[in-house]
Structure 1
Amino acid sequence: MTATEQNFSLLLPIYSGDKPSFLERAFRSCVDDQTLPPTEVVMVQDGPVSAELAAMMQQLIVASAVPTRLLVLEHNRGLARALEAGLAQCSFDVVARMDADDVSLPTRFEKQRVAIAGGLDLVGTAMFEFAEDDGSVIGKRIPPQGQEAIARYSRFHDPFNHPTVMYRRSAVKAAGGYIDVGLMEDYWLFARMIDSGARVENLQEALLMYRVSAGAYTRRGGLGQLTAELRLQKEFRKLGFTTPLQNVRNVIVRGGYRLVPVAIRRIAYRRFIARGFHS
């Protein structure tokens, strides 16, 4: 890659629920530990945060080896709007996503940037899942590989692990950007990108450690998420992304999943919703 082809922004949203120690580890894994660090970091503070978290953000900005700036949103606007605001502040077309409680493995950005330079618009990776309480690896999620397989898979499942992706901001914008749909703003974006002809791929190597918190499966259920799911499926049909039969299947299976008890939801998510999971 040329020097220009190596340039990219890191987009890191932060909100009040994030822990300072997790943020520090996430940030350093992306800036200090990478074989190809980002050219810049854009942190987005989504609403008020604790004094401890604010202090950690300032500490990281001051000590950062690459230019880092903070965009503060006065009120909590949700992930979709925070990402849209952050994307507008990125200096480069190529942008890597990162959450404030995960850990990027050392070669993540180098391998994704090579893939993007080769002509892709969106590149995700496999990821390890690790337990919040003791840090032990509890599984590995391997997404589909190849344009056709990803497109086929996306009719029922989110085909990318959102915290792992690197994409071209221009391709995200061409598809309409992030739109708030419950916890599924990424799935809706990726579906529109695929439908609009974006060139996509998933690296099969796990290049990120994804933190699984105690409330991960609770947040995926309830009437609010059922409403979001039904809205997403309606949008898929309006776009022509799914067939009538696929729509019925998705409403029954994915919609029903939102209403089952948490213990069952955990099993169902790994077995049916996130079928790329391998324990």
Structure 2
Amino acid sequence: MTAPRVSVLMSVLNGEAYLGDAIDSILGQTFPDFEFIIVDNGSTDRTAAIIRGYDDARIVPVTNRQTLSLSQSLNVGLARAKGIYVARLDADDVALPDRLSRQVAVLDAQPEVALVASAWTTFGEDGIAQMVPGPVPPLDHGAILTALATRNVLTHSSITFRRDVAAALGGYDETFTYCMDYDLYFRIAATHRLAVIEEPLVAVRIHGNQITRAPDWQIPRSREILRVADAARTLSFLTAAERRRARDHATRLCLRLARLSFRKLHLLDATGWLIRALRRAPATAICLAAHSLRRDRRAEPPAHHA
């Protein structure tokens, strides 16, 4: 049996509310030569039944016996993939009909490009008919790296990458819970080029059950972003200016972690993060801290006197 050109990779945990829309968006692609690996990551709702309800030979269901982290679950699916390219989609998002055809065309035409992303739109409970355009990431490799030095400008659901390149890197780093995609971009960029398609090819759903709405996610996620930023400071393929941007980004993250820790009254942690910020870039840390204090003072309500 001939291997498919593309392996679409999805991990889903208790995704009954939106999974059908995501599956339908892949099965409705104008590019038909794909397998669709859906990893049920230990769901306890109707997720498994929804997957079984589709009679399409391209769907490859995989079931984790216990719930894993997202990076671990994606690696389970990646190990099963047979396609030349791997396209990611989260179980609550929707791929637009020509997403696969557009990204396959870029990767076929540019062998030096190992990962292609796209712009995206967002939508909420009103449905995909009410999509709102998102930001357009930088389009060429150098500009993408410059932007990545200070923030993750790519959305995970929009990426398609060469399976052999990702496999040679060991897939997703399973020590990441939140930022496995951000880390992967830099590791791929060490040996290959990145690209972005200007038009939106995916719609990202905004809803109340997203991980970014969960309590206490900000500190662990910020710590993971800091790991990526600190690693970027030492990457030889980045320019000196990009490494400085990554250093300043890491300094801002340390100050953010200090502020988040202080709000939780974790004073020792807050002090530690302030010290880390000063060690990375003393002048930057002092300027940013002073700016933050001025902003907080402006935000204070005026005093009322009896």
The TM-score bracket by the shorter chain reads 0.7 to 0.9
> Are the counterparts in 1 of residues 94 and 203 from structure 2 also a CA contact under 8 Å?
yes
1:121 Cα deviation from its structure 2 partner: 1.4
Structure 2 match to 1:224 = 220
5 Å-filtered alignment, 1:99-138, equals 99-118=90-109, 119=111, 120-132=113-125, 135=128, 136-138=130-132
Q: Counterparts of 1:110 and 1:158 in 2: how far apart (Å)?
A: 25
Q: 2:123, 2:203 within 8 Å by CA — same for their partners in 1?
A: yes
Mapped contact 2:12–2:43 kept (Cα < 8 A): no
Q: Distance in 2 between matches of 1:164 and 1:240?
A: 27
- Using structure 1 for the length normalisation, give the TM-score: 0.80
- The residue that corresponds to 2:18 in the other structure is 22
- Distance across 2 between alignment mates of 1:143 and 1:34: 23
Out of 80, 104, 123, the residue aligned to residue 71 of structure 2 is 80
Deviation at 1:256, TM superposition (A): 4.4
How many pairs are equivalent? Answer: 250
Q: CA deviation at 1:239?
A: 4.3
2:186 corresponding residue in structure 1: 191
For residues 61-100 of structure 1, what are the structure 2 equivalents within 5 Å? 63-64=55-56, 66-100=57-91
**Residue of structure 1 in register with 2:232 after alignment:** 236
> 1:59 deviation in Å?
0.7
For the residue of structure 2 that corresponds to 1:81, the secondary structure is helix
Q: Do the aligned partners of 2:114 and 2:188 also contact (CA within 8 Å) in 1?
A: no
Q: In 2, are the aligned partners of 1:155 and 1:241 still within 8 Å (CA)?
A: no
Aligned to 1:182: 177
CA distance in structure 2 between the partners assigned to 1:38 and 1:15 by the alignment: 26
* Equivalent residue number for residue 202 of structure 1: 196
Please tell me the root mean square deviation across aligned C-alpha atoms, in Å.
2.6
Query: Aligned letter for 1:170?
Result: D
User: Which residue number corresponds to residue 291 of structure 2?
Assistant: none
Q: Distance in 1 between matches of 2:227 and 2:213?
A: 20
1:129 and 1:141 in contact (8 A); partners too: no
Structure 1 residue 193: deviation in Å?
A: 0.7
SS of the residue aligned with 1:116? helix
Give the letter for the 2:206 counterpart: V
**Gap regions ≥5 residues in structure 2:** 264-306
Unaligned regions of 5+ residues in structure 1, if any? 262-279
Q: 1:58 to 1:256 in 2, by over 3 A?
A: farther
Percent of counterpart pairs with the same letter? Answer: 24
Query: C-alpha offsets along residues 56-75 of structure 1, whole Å, 9 cap, x if unaligned?
Result: 01112xx12x4222111112
Higher RCO structure (Cα 8 Å, ≥6 apart): 1
Q: TM-score, normalised by structure 2?
A: 0.73
Deviation at 1:241, TM superposition (A): 6.7
Deviation at 1:247, TM superposition (A): 4.1
Q: 1:34 offset after TM fit, Å?
A: 1.3
Instruction: Compare CA radii of gyration and give the structure with the larger one.
Output: 2
User: For residues 228 and 24 of structure 1, do their structure 2 counterparts lie closer, same or farther at Cα, with a shift above 3 Å needed?
Assistant: same
Q: How many Å apart are 1:174 and its aligned residue?
A: 2.9
